[in-house]
Amino acid sequence: MLTLGRTLLFIGLALALVGGLLILLARLDLPLGRLPGDFHIEGQNFTCIFPLATSLLLSVLLTVILNLLARFLRK
């Protein structure tokens, strides 16, 4: 029961951290979702947004950050 409580607490803190980062990123007015390579298709009754360039950029950045974090935590 103790490990379940710790796990839920960790998940809650991680979600709060991600939410805070999203709020900060929204205030910085970064062009995420509007980069060249992000597809935006509008029809009469639908809109399709596919942020390909933004997804690739965030994937590369998170990979680098997590690899550096893992490398520093191993030492």
Query: By residue range, what is the domain housing residue 53?
Result: 32-75
- What pLDDT is attached to residue 51? 94
Looking at the chain, the number of H-run helices and the number of E-run strands are: 2, 2
My answer on whether 40 and 74 are in the same domain is yes
Per-residue pLDDT tens over the stretch 13-37: 999 999 998 899 889 988 888 899 9
Q: Say what percent of the chain tops pLDDT 70.
A: 99
Same domain, 41 and 62: yes
| 12 and 39 housed in the same domain | no
Q: Which two tokens stand for residue 28?
A: 């910085």
What is the value of pTM for the model shown?
A: 0.65
Q: What is the C-alpha to C-alpha distance for residues 51 and 55, in angstroms, rounded to an integer?
A: 6
Residue 40 sits in the same domain as residue 66: yes
**What pLDDT shows up at residue 12?**
95
For residue 52, give every residue at least 6 positions away whose Cβ sits within 8 Å of its Cβ, in sequence order, or none: 37, 38, 39
> Looking at the structure, do residues 40 and 19 belong to the same domain, yes or no?
no
* pLDDT-based confidence at residue 7 (cuts at 50, 70, 90): very high
12, 44: one domain: no
